[in-house]
Amino acid sequence: MRTDAGSRGGLKIPDDSVIAWLSANVLPHEADVRAWLRRSGLSVLDPDDLIQEAYARIAASPGCTQVQNGRAYFFATVRNLALEHFRRARIVRVDAMAEIERLRIEDDAPSTERVAFGRIELARVSKLIEELPNRCRQVFVLRKVHALPQKEVARRLGISENTVEKQMVKGLRLLLDRLARGEAGGNSPDLAGTHERQKVRRRDRTRGG
Amino acid sequence: MSDRKSAEEIEREAAEWVVRVDSDPALAPQLEIWAAEDPRHAGAYYRALSAWRLADRGRALGHTFAARQASGTSRRALIAAAAGLAVSVGAAGFGWKVWLDGRGSLRTAVGEIRWAPLADGSRAALNTSTVLDVSMDAASRNIDLQSGEAWFDVEHDPSRPFVVRSGPVRVRAVGTSFSVRRYGDDFEVIVTEGTVEAWREDTPDRSAVKVSAGRRVSLPATAEPEVTLSPTSEIEGRLAWRTGMIALEGRSLREAAEEFNRYNGVQLVIDGDDLAEKRIVGWFRATDVDAFTAAASIALGVQVRKTGNTIILSSSSDDGNVSPAHQPL
């Protein structure tokens, strides 16, 4: 249906401005989108699949970096993907789909998280890196914070380049996992985290009522 | 589906690509081929690359960073799992004080669901358009289901068998829970607890079938009774009307329309055989036709037309893939 593939069989990876935009406007909201998917009872769909497809679609849409509200755009894209999945399904979960529609208001809500994220970004990144397992963190700090080439990191730590690579992959995956779960707090991580969780619970209660 | 790569597998591959291409840009063409294989590949790659970019901001933190000890692993975020589509069961219609001593009649209008305590301590729930005559004395408990559908939770009393009659059909219980539905000359009995005996008076041998909990039996006029073992979810679905709900557990759109039409003056019509055979899942308030048609229009991309007392659902005139309300931004 989609024509993501370039003419020579490969996919043109979007330029760095798109990735930077995703990093600042989409990724920070992934935990909220996932929480929203869980609440909406769409357990028949794999949220990981939807999220991955959403990144692909957003990055492929022309002019996405001009979008002001990345959060709303992310929600809308996931919702559209979910609707497409449901329409293709042999058995259609109609009530869940109606639920998706009802929930669309949520992405228009003023995003305090978004505002907050801009401010606490640095602390958040710092915390994410700090919480990596020891060896993984060492490698990650040299490679990302000090921006050393892979070879140099391997030399300094007396490990193989292959090990550096493995640790970086591990670190990156842990980072993604944390972001997906919304575990990374801000300046006062515990407070920020608690606040967000309470908010989610409150919403659950309101909806369940 | 089974050979479909898991999201987790793709995520791992994507993270590997990010790290490898970052230290060796010459690998980019290979990455591009991998990314073209599946939109999820590309998406997972962009996602991992975004996180990689995010980590670059750590540079602003400078060298003070490396010296620090790792803090303890943060507590797991215990975001309460979604209650999901918790169906809120309305209290309306409950608590009817219909106490029947001896003889009496119970009836429900179209769309009405009614719970009624009976004189012997049993309970009855009447579905839409149901007429029920009750007659009880020291030796017997007789219910006559004239039309519609009713569920009974029978008070245990071996000295007084509890018999539901409906046309030629008889269902006998001592202490158990079951429902009886009459539609035309066909009958269906669903047992939720204990065992009942069911038979038709208009068959030569009047032989009874025993039906135990978790099973249902249909007693058609022209064929042998057929006992079916039903999963709990299906039984719950079929008796969802007791709480005013319709459960469409994989039923066709045609059957869904028939269900809604039992409860409402407004009648649903499905235009087109392909559409009518589309299978759907979902729980709805039986009297909320609008919620159902709205959901169907979103889910199936159908057109909804209202003329008088009829609502017609038909396939959209265009490709039916994206309805106007759901265009991407």
The per-residue DSSP string of B134-178 comes to: EEE-SS-EEEEEEEEEEEEEPPP-TTS-EEEEETTEEEEESS-EE
- Quote the Cα angle for A70-A72-B8, to 5°: 75
Contact criterion met (CB below 8 Å) for A70 and A39? no
Asked if A99 lies within 8 A of B85 by C-beta distance, the reply is yes
Taking CA–CA distances from B76, the nearest residue in chain A reads A183
Q: B64, B74, B89, B249: which to substitute to probe chain A, counting the most A Cβ within 10 Å?
A: B74
Contact criterion met (CB below 8 Å) for A54 and B43? yes
Q: A61, A84, A145: which to substitute to probe chain B, counting the most B Cβ within 10 Å?
A: A145
pLDDT at A5 over 60: no
Q: A95, A124, A152: which to substitute to probe chain B, counting the most B Cβ within 10 Å?
A: A95
Does A126 contact chain B (CB < 8 Å)?
Answer: yes
- Percentage of chain B lying above the pLDDT 70 cut: 81
* Of the candidates B16, B19, B296, the residue with the CA atom closest to the CA atom of residue A87: B296
Q: How far is A109 from chain B (nearest CA, A)?
A: 17
Q: Which residues of B touch A5 (CB under 8 A)?
A: 36
Ranges assigned E (strand) in chain B: 103-107, 114-117, 123-126, 131-136, 141-153, 162-166, 169-173, 177-183, 186-193, 195-200, 209-212, 215-218, 226-229, 245-252, 267-271, 279-285, 302-307, 310-315
> Checking DSSP bridges between strand B195-200 and strand B226-229, what pairing results, if any?
unpaired
Q: A94, A176, A191: which to substitute to probe chain B, counting the most B Cβ within 10 Å?
A: A94
**Residue B147: predicted pLDDT:** 92
Model-wide pTM > 0.80: no
pLDDT at A7 over 70: no
Q: What backbone torsions phi and psi does residue A74 show, to the nearest 5 degrees?
A: -65, -50
Asked if B40 lies within 8 A of A52 by C-beta distance, the reply is yes
Rounded to an integer, the average pLDDT of A133-156 is: 88
For B216-246, how does the pLDDT look when each residue is reduced to its tens digit (9 = 90+)?
999 988 888 888 888 887 888 888 888 888 8
Instruction: Tell me which of A51-60, B31-40, B51-60 is least confident.
Output: B51-60
Measure Cα distances from A75 to A11, A66, A79 in Å. 25, 17, 6
Asked if A94 lies within 8 A of B248 by C-beta distance, the reply is yes
Instruction: Tell me which of A6-10, A26-30, A53-57, A166-170 is least confident.
Output: A6-10
Those residues with Cβ within 8 angstroms of residue B124's Cβ, 6 or more apart along the chain or in another chain? B106, B115, B116, B117, B118, B132, B134, B143, B150, B151, B152, B153
pLDDT at A152 over 60: yes
Confidence of residue B247 (pLDDT cuts 50, 70, 90): confident
* Of the candidates B8, B83, B72, B75, the residue with the CA atom closest to the CA atom of residue B40: B8
Asked if B84 lies within 8 A of A146 by C-beta distance, the reply is no
**Residue A187: predicted pLDDT:** 33
Q: How far is B276 from chain A (nearest CA, A)?
A: 12
> Between B298 and A97, whose confidence is greater?
B298
> Between A207 and A52, whose confidence is greater?
A52
Q: Least CB-CB distance to B84: which of A41, A169, A181?
A: A41
Q: Least CB-CB distance to B43: which of A54, A94, A141?
A: A54
pLDDT at B311 over 80: yes
ipTM reported for the complex, 2 dp: 0.75
For A96-125, how does the pLDDT look when each residue is reduced to its tens digit (9 = 90+)?
666 666 655 454 444 454 444 444 466 777
Taking CA–CA distances from A90, the nearest residue in chain B reads B279
Asked if B74 lies within 8 A of A56 by C-beta distance, the reply is no
Q: Which of residues 162-191 of A touch B (CB under 8 A)?
A: 165, 168-169, 172-173, 175-176, 179, 181-183, 185, 189
